[in-house]
């Protein structure tokens, strides 16, 4: 059997990793400014993470959600403490799209409505509801297209207000920082007003922090720059440092009912041990502060480089916009300079390194980038 060919691949076979570096099968070392698509939060193969998962799988890898799982409670209490959301509840699933599915479903159970407001250039995943609220017609199949979603311009509060005052909107879903859309940051004032209008109209505010959360922006959640509290926050990617896992943080306004949400694999023992290890390391090694410090440094240094049209981002979520397609630039970075980077659209280079990136590694990246500009 061959693989279903949906990914355009780089000709590199990565077989090991350590911190912010990975190695291919020929022994070539690469600097990882991509984090396997924002997934590697605490660094590749962190010893505490390896130990926790290894010990857990040798005891018990999985049991179902029909029995007490104290590891889930442990994830919830640590996550509540580090994020400042102690009073919220946690529901665990397996992927980002699934987190958004459950967030939207919960919102609809709560207020009985079904229209959703999402934003131009948004990305929320590829499953049924998640892809429907994603602003990319190319990946929305006819079976997903129910016409329930209105896409509006980011930062245009008056248009949002007009729609929400029709009082038929179930939820607004918005990324803490748009990733796939090109590292676009919603204005703090826009988020504050959005929070107010959602409350006034009984609309659920869902913050998709799947890419921008878990410390990446230099705060635990990107929306915390605006000082708001959403009704539901979705997390994935960095939560398990590569172990497939996701969650939704749920405000106390939602009342749980047995059976309203459910999953076979979500919150399993092995996933929880990965998530606990991640939170341990984030706290112990002050990785949110590190993302803020090294991210600010990178942003400032990158802004000094001529030939880059725009440099934007927060913490270690950075976009470099060029006047031209960066396809060849990205290839040169990978094959000549041995640096992994990401992309948004055609012209934006996206940096999403592990949150443990050091100042020396940031300097190393800048000099490798200058070599190809």
Ligand X SMILES: Cc1ncc(COP(=O)(O)O)c(C=O)c1O
Nearer to ligand X, 130 or 270 (CB): 130
- Closest residue by beta carbon to ligand X: 96
Give least dist CB 55 to ligand X, A: 26
Nearer to ligand X, 320 or 369 (CB): 320
Give least dist CB 244 to ligand X, A: 8
Cα–Cα nearest to 253, from 171, 168, 165: 171
Nearer to ligand X, 171 or 369 (CB): 171
Kindly give the pairing relationship between strand 246-250 and strand 89-93: antiparallel
Kindly give the pairing relationship between strand 21-24 and strand 89-93: unpaired
**Residue 288 binding ligand X, by CB under 6 A:** no
37 secondary structure, DSSP code: H
**Residue 241 binding ligand X, by CB under 6 A:** no
Nearer to ligand X, 95 or 347 (CB): 95
Cα–Cα nearest to 237, from 281, 278, 184, 270: 278
* Number of neighbouring beta carbons within 10 Å of residue 61: 13
* Number of neighbouring beta carbons within 10 Å of residue 31: 20
**Residue 195 binding ligand X, by CB under 6 A:** no
- The angle subtended at Cα 138 by Cα 134 and Cα 144, nearest 5°, is 60
Residue with tokens 């660094």: 43
- Which segment (160-168, 172-180, 251-259, 293-301) binds ligand X by CB under 6 A? 172-180
**Residue 125 binding ligand X, by CB under 6 A:** yes
Residue 112: CB partners within 8 Å, gap ≥ 6? none
Give least dist CB 231 to ligand X, A: 17
**Residue 175 binding ligand X, by CB under 6 A:** yes
Cα–Cα distance for residue pair 350/291, rounded to 1 Å: 15
Phi first, then psi: give them for residue 54, nearest 5 degrees: -65, -45
- The angle subtended at Cα 93 by Cα 213 and Cα 233, nearest 5°, is 35
Cα–Cα nearest to 148, from 162, 165, 128: 128
Give least dist CB 154 to ligand X, A: 13
Q: Between residue 50 and residue 109, which ones bind ligand X under the rule CB under 6 A?
A: 95-97, 100
**Residue 205 binding ligand X, by CB under 6 A:** no
Give least dist CB 68 to ligand X, A: 27
Give least dist CB 24 to ligand X, A: 24
Residue 187: CB partners within 8 Å, gap ≥ 6? 155
- Which segment (162-170, 173-181, 286-294, 339-347) binds ligand X by CB under 6 A? 173-181
**Residue 248 binding ligand X, by CB under 6 A:** no
Number of shown-chain residues binding ligand X (CB under 6 A): 14
> For residue 351, what are the CA distances in angstroms to 35, 90, 190, 256, 295?
9, 29, 25, 38, 10
**Residue 236 binding ligand X, by CB under 6 A:** yes
- Which segment (59-67, 80-88, 119-127, 145-153) binds ligand X by CB under 6 A? 119-127
Cα–Cα distance for residue pair 109/345, rounded to 1 Å: 35
Cα–Cα nearest to 316, from 30, 32, 16: 32
What is residue 128's three-state secondary structure?
helix
Give least dist CB 99 to ligand X, A: 7
Among 88, 91, 123, 243, binds ligand X (CB under 6 A): 123
Among 42, 210, 318, 356, binds ligand X (CB under 6 A): 210
**Residue 32 binding ligand X, by CB under 6 A:** no
Residue with tokens 């060849």: 328
Nearer to ligand X, 75 or 235 (CB): 235
Give least dist CB 304 to ligand X, A: 29
Among 102, 193, 211, 347, binds ligand X (CB under 6 A): 211
Chain residues binding ligand X by CB under 6 A are 95-97, 100, 123-125, 175, 179-180, 208, 210-211, 236
């Amino acid at each position: 059997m061959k693989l279903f060919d949906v990914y355009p691949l780089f000709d590199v076979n990565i077989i090991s990793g350590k911190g912010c570096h990975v190695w291919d099968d020929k022994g070539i070392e690469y600097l990882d400014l991509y984090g396997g698509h924002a997934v590697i939060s605490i660094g590749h193969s962190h010893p505490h993470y390896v130990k926790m998962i290894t010990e857990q799988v040798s005891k018990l890898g999985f049991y179902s959600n029909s029995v007490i799982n104290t590891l889930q409670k442990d994830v919830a209490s640590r996550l509540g403490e580090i994020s400042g959301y102690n009073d919220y509840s946690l529901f665990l699933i397996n992927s980002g799209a699934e987190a958004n599915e459950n967030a939207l479903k919960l919102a609809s159970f709560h207020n009985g409505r079904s229209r959703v407001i999402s934003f131009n250039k948004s990305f929320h995943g590829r499953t049924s509801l998640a892809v429907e609220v994603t602003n990319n017609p190319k990946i929305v199949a006819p079976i997903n297209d129910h016409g329930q979603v209105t896409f509006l311009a980011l930062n245009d509060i008056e248009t949002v207000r007009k729609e929400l005052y029709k009082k038929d909107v179930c939820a607004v879903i918005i990324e803490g920082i748009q990733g796939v859309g090109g590292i676009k940051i919603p204005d703090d004032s826009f988020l504050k007003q959005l929070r107010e209008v959602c409350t006034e109209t009984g609309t659920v505010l869902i913050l998709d922090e799947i890419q921008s959360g878990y410390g990446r922006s230099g705060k635990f959640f990107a929306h915390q720059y605006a000082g708001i509290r959403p009704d539901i926050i979705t997390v994935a990617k960095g939560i398990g440092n590569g172990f497939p896992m996701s969650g939704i943080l749920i405000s106390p306004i939602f009342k749980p009912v047995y059976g309203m949400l459910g999953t076979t694999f979500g919150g399993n023992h092995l996933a929880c041990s990965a998530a606990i290890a991640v939170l341990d390391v984030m706290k112990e090694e002050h990785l949110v502060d590190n993302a803020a410090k090294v991210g600010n440094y990178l942003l400032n240094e990158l802004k000094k480089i001529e030939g880059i049209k725009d440099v934007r981002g927060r913490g270690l979520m950075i976009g470099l916009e060029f006047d031209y397609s960066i396809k060849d630039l990205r290839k040169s970075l990978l094959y000549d300079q041995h640096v992994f980077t990401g992309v948004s659209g055609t012209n934006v280079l996206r940096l999403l390194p592990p949150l443990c990136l050091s100042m020396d590694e940031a300097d190393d990246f800048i000099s490798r980038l200058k070599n190809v500009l």
